Chains A and B, each alone.
Chain A
């Protein structure tokens, strides 16, 4: 029976598919897409095997997860130093939730891509890259030690680089890929420093051993706090939190299924997953670390929500909503609630993938993605419109879609553990979210088409693309119900998600009506407001924009973050490089090196006048030398 001990197969199968596709992909029929999909399906099936095995174990007392690992690199030395790197895989409830999202969404996206990417000249390479990404992502989820985690972390970053830059002949795509990789890498510097700092005291990279070490008080509080904040920097980069969020909207240059997979459901939540996985360290560290997470998350939520209001690109709006969701998850983690964050992550994986894939269908059908070119598509693409609306409502947090339950859970824990300012801002963000999600639905599917010609040809996509949409829509409707203990028990879980994924103890489901009512009111207000502002000629929206012109401008310019970064890069980083290169050429080389060589040349130039070229002079010199030598010799002898 395949169980948790064989969890390593889950990343291994897509990895093998990647290698095969890379080597012989172009000789396979259909350029090997079936191989990638088959591998992913196998991983999905294996996920169920692992899940069933886990459910058998999870009820037992003291269950903390199962590790299976092989030695990778190790050296034992006579001096007693031991250095060991293992390829280890660890399965617990947290990992399983993540596996569910990753395997399912990846499978859906791959199936969808067979339609979406059908005519691309690099079709085979696309599937190879997606397989590579999936393997890295699954390894990240299952890693039991920091080293493998870091390797997989960089691996998903690289996969994202490849896929954002998939259409690299577009300058903007190449630039976006570069920006994404470098921005996340800035966070990764912190991650690596954090990992090494943790290792330095504990002497191990194993995550659970480091937990034990930390809980036994092995680290001083200040040291641990520094280390976890460095780790959090990695999460900030990967999960597009303020101030490193700038890469995610640009990453929309990639193919839309890629956006659905990487920049919505899987990779970007890796940061959230990392923080959730390392929550025991944050608990031991100074509370200021948690406060920083909350603050960063909240800033991200507010900035992205407001920017979502004015974005004009269909995919960018959804990208901002993703950043918004990620911020919410961070706030949940900052409030020490792993189960709330993971619930949101679980739900978000489905409805955000749904939104992106539906948007992909729109783009596929119309070849347009500017909101001003779209509109009125509900008539042409009813199925797409319906599933998009389901996703948008879920994002807005309308009962009884998954988004509602997840968001409610977060609001619950924030209300319990944070002060009212945080709570107030979150409520406000619920309103804004509903507002811009309504806006994007109206501008895309309702009203009059902006570009009639594109509108003429639009129609619902082929079944291979629609089927994943319907499956995801179904999950968007249903996934939220896992909060109920009854539902969980019926499925064989110990209870609802709070009983399954938790930090310190199982949390039974509770449902404070006041929060639910308040959030629903906010969301509905957002919906109504959206219809008021943007239906028809969208006259109120235009007037609002003119009324708050400075604010509108700031939002349009994305809080000037990109400009600041660009300025910094151009004026500080590249300038420093230029100055240093100039310094190297002119000071170090031309002055220091050539200068000292020049001294030699100068001395030689001076000396050369001693050389007359006339033989008698040389002869005289020889004789003089002999005489001097003779004098010396005689003087010494005497």
Chain B
């Protein structure tokens, strides 16, 4: 077992643990904290995949912005004060569906005959990717920024509340 593999299994284990924590814990704030853990671990996976830039983006956006947002909403919606159970009545079915999906997905991943070299990571030069992003993908990029803008305004409008409230 190479050290890379060791790191991989460690990071993967943290990711899975974090994810499980998100969906299983009885405390919503813990759940959010587990989410941060999982997101950071995923950033580690990105580094293992030699996508350092994405790992940074991941930490900045997810680890920072998104999680903070979620925590704020939890606070605003007073989730912790809710007396009811966090899980719905269809939990067994959810487990079943998730399990079935897992089986299928893993089967598909293992049985597929992937084209090209599946053992070797080719490091993608950072610079080339940036050029591609701003040259070949310029229009989608701009559209995405527009989407962000609209979402931003939409979120403000939605969250602002009624006049005089």
Contact = CB atoms under 8 A, between A and B. Distances in A.
A623 B96 CA distance: 11
A626 B100 CA distance: 11
A631 B97 CA distance: 13
Q: Which of A626, A627, A634 has the most CB of B within 10 A?
A: A627
A616 B97 contact: no
Contacts of A627: 97, 100-101, 104
Contacts of A631: 104
A299 B139 CA distance: 101
B90 interface: yes
B101 A623 contact: yes
B97 A624 contact: yes
B97 A634 contact: no
Contacts of B88: 616
B108 A620 contact: no
B90 A620 contact: yes
A597 interface: no
A627 B100 CA distance: 7
Contacts of A626: 101
Contacts of B47: none
Interface in B75-117: 88, 90, 93-94, 97, 100-101, 104, 107-108
Contacts of A630: 101, 104, 108
A623 B90 CA distance: 13
A620 B90 CA distance: 9
A309 to B, nearest CB: 97
Nearest to B91: A616
A260 to B, nearest CB: 89
B121 to A, nearest CB: 28
> Which applies to chain A's interface (DSSP): helix, strand, loop or mixed?
helix
Interface residues of A, number: 10
Interface string A620-638: 1001101100110010000
A620 B92 CA distance: 11
A616 B90 contact: yes
A99 B94 CA distance: 101
B94 A620 contact: yes
A617 B108 contact: no
Contacts of A617: 90
A624 B101 CA distance: 9
A620 B93 contact: yes
B93 to A, nearest CB: 6
Interface string A520-536: 00000000000000000
A258 B83 CA distance: 99
Nearest to A626: B101
B95 to A, nearest CB: 11
Nearest to B93: A620
Interface in A600-623: 616-617, 620, 623
| Chain B interface residue bracket vs A | 10 to 19
Nearest to B112: A637
A353 B6 CA distance: 129
A48 to B, nearest CB: 98
Contacts of B100: 627
A620 B104 contact: no
A165 to B, nearest CB: 72
B97 A620 contact: yes
Contacts of A623: 97, 101
A338 B88 CA distance: 104
Contacts of B97: 620, 623-624, 627
A612 to B, nearest CB: 10
A631 B100 CA distance: 10
A611 to B, nearest CB: 15
Contacts of A634: 104, 107-108
A257 to B, nearest CB: 86
Nearest to A627: B100
B148 to A, nearest CB: 25
Nearest to A622: B97
A634 B108 CA distance: 8
Contacts of B93: 620
A239 B90 CA distance: 89
A235 B8 CA distance: 111
Interface in A149-189: none
A342 B101 CA distance: 104
Contacts of A616: 88, 90, 94
A633 to B, nearest CB: 9
Interface string A395-435: 00000000000000000000000000000000000000000
Contacts of B107: 634
B30 to A, nearest CB: 22
A630 B107 CA distance: 11
A243 to B, nearest CB: 83
Contacts of B104: 627, 630-631, 634
A623 B97 CA distance: 7
Nearest to A615: B88
B138 to A, nearest CB: 34
A617 B94 CA distance: 10
A35 B7 CA distance: 120
Nearest to B88: A616
A207 B61 CA distance: 102
Nearest to A614: B88
A510 to B, nearest CB: 115
A616 B97 CA distance: 12
B161 to A, nearest CB: 24
A630 B88 CA distance: 26
Interface string B7-32: 00000000000000000000000000
Contacts of A624: 97
A616 B107 CA distance: 26
A616 B88 CA distance: 8
A240 to B, nearest CB: 86
Interface in B107-152: 107-108
A631 B104 CA distance: 8
A585 to B, nearest CB: 49
A142 B108 CA distance: 97
B115 to A, nearest CB: 16
B137 to A, nearest CB: 29
A620 B97 CA distance: 8
Nearest to A631: B104
Interface in B24-54: none
A403 to B, nearest CB: 103
23 contacts: A616-B88, A616-B90, A616-B94, A617-B90, A620-B90, A620-B93, A620-B94, A620-B97, A623-B97, A623-B101, A624-B97, A626-B101, A627-B97, A627-B100, A627-B101, A627-B104, A630-B101, A630-B104, A630-B108, A631-B104, A634-B104, A634-B107, A634-B108
Interface of A: 616-617, 620, 623-624, 626-627, 630-631, 634
Given A620-B93, A630-B108, 11 more contacts: A616-B94, A617-B90, A620-B94, A623-B101, A627-B101, A630-B101, A630-B104, A631-B104, A634-B104, A634-B107, A634-B108
Interface of B: 88, 90, 93-94, 97, 100-101, 104, 107-108
Closest 4 CB pairs of A and B: A623-B97, A630-B104, A616-B88, A627-B100
